[in-house]
């Protein structure tokens, strides 16, 4: 593995940041769901107070509490809640994870938005945790060092920060947030710029780009491109769709000079062997782009 320092996590997930993210995401979600008003909830007597529980129908890492709470604040003012399973902790099938008390109309209006965020973000966190666990005891060069599981930009439009938070909650690491905070030079950039050496030189010559980027990474598809990138001073290299023998050769050629990241062909059946090659990071689009939602339901009590 590389002796270089990997890029730090993109975001500092403070309570204030999560509150602001959740309030904005939930406002959009409720606007598309409620519109001018909840016609069905209006059939419930005004002023009626209800108690409810949210149940997890399957094992999962709980994630999304700030979004669930924002939905309750916005759609059910006056509601109170108690988490029975803390954010980032694992729940079991049919376990109650959240208790609610508040206006029945508001709880009914908030129900789907609360569940939508919980099912998506818990799914991302759970899948991430599964990948992290799969490589927890694997290392190419040291028993104490493992590759990091990293996300990508393959997220649901408008929910990138929420999903990246869920990756963090599951024990993974964030890659760049978008096109504005880091440089990732890919195949088409290399072709347009005239080659690996040329595009890396262009980055260094463009002061505004170099100053704004948290890191500069270049994607390579062959060992020859890797050697050229290292000769040109690359400090972070993405190894794209390489088989295991080629990855081992890449680690040997690199000899700790650059941070090596792997992408392509990563799944639960391959990630352990990939980590064992000695690479530093494994980026996995499946963490966020094709997640199967965790099954949650809300049940009213004492009605």
Q: Determine whether the annotation assigns residue 20 to a binding site.
A: no
Catalytic residue among 219, 261, 280, 281: 219
- String of DSSP letters for 246-276: HHHHHHHHHTTSSEEEEESS-STTTHHHHHH
Whether 240 is catalytic = yes
Q: Determine whether the annotation assigns residue 2 to a binding site.
A: no
Q: Determine whether the annotation assigns residue 176 to a binding site.
A: yes
Catalytic residue among 57, 90, 160, 186: 186
d(CA 190, CA 201): 11
Q: Determine whether the annotation assigns residue 186 to a binding site.
A: yes
Q: Determine whether the annotation assigns residue 154 to a binding site.
A: yes
Q: Determine whether the annotation assigns residue 265 to a binding site.
A: yes
Whether 38 is catalytic = no
Cβ-contact 105, 48 below 8 angstroms: yes
Whether 186 is catalytic = yes
Q: Determine whether the annotation assigns residue 240 to a binding site.
A: yes
Whether 154 is catalytic = yes
Catalytic residue among 25, 151, 217, 240: 240
Q: Determine whether the annotation assigns residue 64 to a binding site.
A: no
Whether 219 is catalytic = yes
Catalytic residue among 154, 160, 248, 272: 154
- Binding positions: 112, 152-154, 176, 186, 219, 240, 263-265, 284-286
Residues that constitute the known binding site for substrate: 112, 152-154, 176, 186, 219, 240, 263-265, 284-286
**Residues annotated as part of the active site:** 112, 154, 186, 219, 240
């Amino acid at each position: 593995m590389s002796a270089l320092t990997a890029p730090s996590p993109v975001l500092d997930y403070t309570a204030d940041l999560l509150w602001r993210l959740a309030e904005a995401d939930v406002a959009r979600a409720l606007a598309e769901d409620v519109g001018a008003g909840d016609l069905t909830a209006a059939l419930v007597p005004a002023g009626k107070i209800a108690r409810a529980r949210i149940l997890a129908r399957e094992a999962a890492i709980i994630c999304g509490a700030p979004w669930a709470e924002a939905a309750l604040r916005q759609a059910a003012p006056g509601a109170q809640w108690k988490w029975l399973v803390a954010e980032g902790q694992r729940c079991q099938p049919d376990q109650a994870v959240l208790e609610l008390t508040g206006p029945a109309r508001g709880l009914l209006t908030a129900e789907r938005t609360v569940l939508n965020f919980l099912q998506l973000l818990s799914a991302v966190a759970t899948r991430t945790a599964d990948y992290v666990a799969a490589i927890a005891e694997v290392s190419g060069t040291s028993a104490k060092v493992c590759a990091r599981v990293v996300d990508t930009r393959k997220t649901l439009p408008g929910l990138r920060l929420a999903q990246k938070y869920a990756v963090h909650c599951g024990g993974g690491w964030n890659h760049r947030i978008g096109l504005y905070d880091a440089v990732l030079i890919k195949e088409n950039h290399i072709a347009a710029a005239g080659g690996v050496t040329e595009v890396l030189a262009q980055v260094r010559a463009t002061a505004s780009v170099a100053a704004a980027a948290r890191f500069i990474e270049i994607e390579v598809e062959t060992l020859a491109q890797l050697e050229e990138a290292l000769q040109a001073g690359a400090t972070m290299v993405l190894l794209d769709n390489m088989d295991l023998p080629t990855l081992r050769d890449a680690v040997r050629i690199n000899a700790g000079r650059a941070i090596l990241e792997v992408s392509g062909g990563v799944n639960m059946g391959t990630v352990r062997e990939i980590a064992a090659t000695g690479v530093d990071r494994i980026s996995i689009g499946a963490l966020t782009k094709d997640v199967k939602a965790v099954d949650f339901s809300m049940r009213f009590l004492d009605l």
